[in-house]
Amino acid sequence: MDSRFTETVEFLRARIPVPPVVGVILGSGLGDFAAAVEDRLEIPYAQIPGFPASAVVGHAGTLVAGTLEGVPIVVLSGRIHYYEGHPMSAVITPARVLGLLGCRDVVVTNAAGGIDTSFSAGDLMLITDHINLFGTNPLIGSNDDLFGARFPDMSDAYRSDLRTLAKAAARRVRVPLKEGVYVGVTGPSYETPAEIRAFRTLGAHAVGMSTVPEVIALSHMGVGVVGISCITNMAAGVLKKPLRHDEVLETTRRVKDRFVKLLTALVVAMGEGRSPDRLVVVPSRKAPASKTKAGKKVRAGTSVAARRGVRSKAAPRGRK
């Protein structure tokens, strides 16, 4: 286990009183959700060992831990972007840490441009799948088997059971929810109209500059993922006007009440035990033997899935 993660996780575990069940990553301008967390502990990224800092307007760069209607939760208010010049290993560090802290499921959110012409600015879209156009992959390099397999399956990266849960939550709180495929690009320049036409041909409904690396890293760890995009503007060429980042922030301010209502309902539903556990790595500086309920000894750092006898991702799961 990379000592960088060990130091980070031990620092946070010493300060977070209750291990989180659900993690949330908030996108541009969507930080208002963090204010809904109860008994919250706020830690700026700059104070967390091994945590890269976010410098983008609309990203607070704060880790918030607490509960939401009784569900232990950790919220990353602000994310790290590849276009800021960070290596991909740094981009996925916060997502990795959520899994290492014990989050069995993570909600990823983002601000995205609408490619589907039936969308409008302010719509919320449940991500059904993604297209990786970053030109790289966060898993390139040597594989850490404690995180997951060398060649992880991505056929259900945005887990179907969690998407079903999200749609039920949206109906319950009466928040309209579109569905679609998210295409991730590096940025920071916005896309050209020709690129948007190409993305539409590929089957994409929305485009953004984040999320994909984090989802790959979380899927590698066996952590369940559900994603929600806030369509903050229409992509290049859809409307005859230039794209501006301040328009993104304006839209997220306008839809914040709907977004917080939906995300709250989803997190509470996820915390009610209806989402099955998945592989979560537990790091430790030392590896003392400990006993499971069955009396068998395992080493610290052994995956939770291995301790519980959960089948690996390579085994048939009967999800479809």
Whether 81 is catalytic? yes
Whether 233 is catalytic? yes
Any idea what DSSP says for residue 272?
A: I
The active-site residue, picked from 34, 36, 54, 59, is 59
Give the three-state DSSP class for 167: helix
Continuous H helices in 37-192 = 88-91, 93-101, 160-173
List C-alpha distances in Å: 241 to 198, 206, 231, 244: 19, 18, 16, 9
Whether 190 is catalytic? no
Whether 130 is catalytic? no
The active-site residue, picked from 34, 65, 81, 270, is 81
Whether 77 is catalytic? no
The active-site residue, picked from 7, 42, 60, 84, is 84
The active-site residue, picked from 34, 111, 166, 269, is 111
CB 199 within 8 A of CB 185: no
Whether 82 is catalytic? no
The active-site residue, picked from 7, 42, 53, 83, is 83
Which H or E element spans position 77?
A: strand 71-77
The active-site residue, picked from 54, 110, 210, 275, is 210
Burial tier of 26 (Cβ tally within 10 Å: 0-12, 13-18, 19+):
buried
Any idea what DSSP says for residue 260?
A: H
Whether 205 is catalytic? no
Burial tier of 291 (Cβ tally within 10 Å: 0-12, 13-18, 19+):
exposed
Whether 189 is catalytic? no
b/e per residue 139-164 (b: at least 16 CB within 10 A): beeeebebbbeeebeeebbbbeebbe
Rounded CA separation 257/35 (Å): 12
Rounded CA separation 53/172 (Å): 36
The active-site residue, picked from 95, 121, 169, 209, is 209
The active-site residue, picked from 154, 179, 245, 306, is 245
Whether 69 is catalytic? no
Whether 83 is catalytic? yes
List C-alpha distances in Å: 25 to 94, 186, 187, 215: 9, 18, 19, 11
The catalytic site residues sit at: 28, 59, 81, 83-84, 111, 209-210, 233, 245
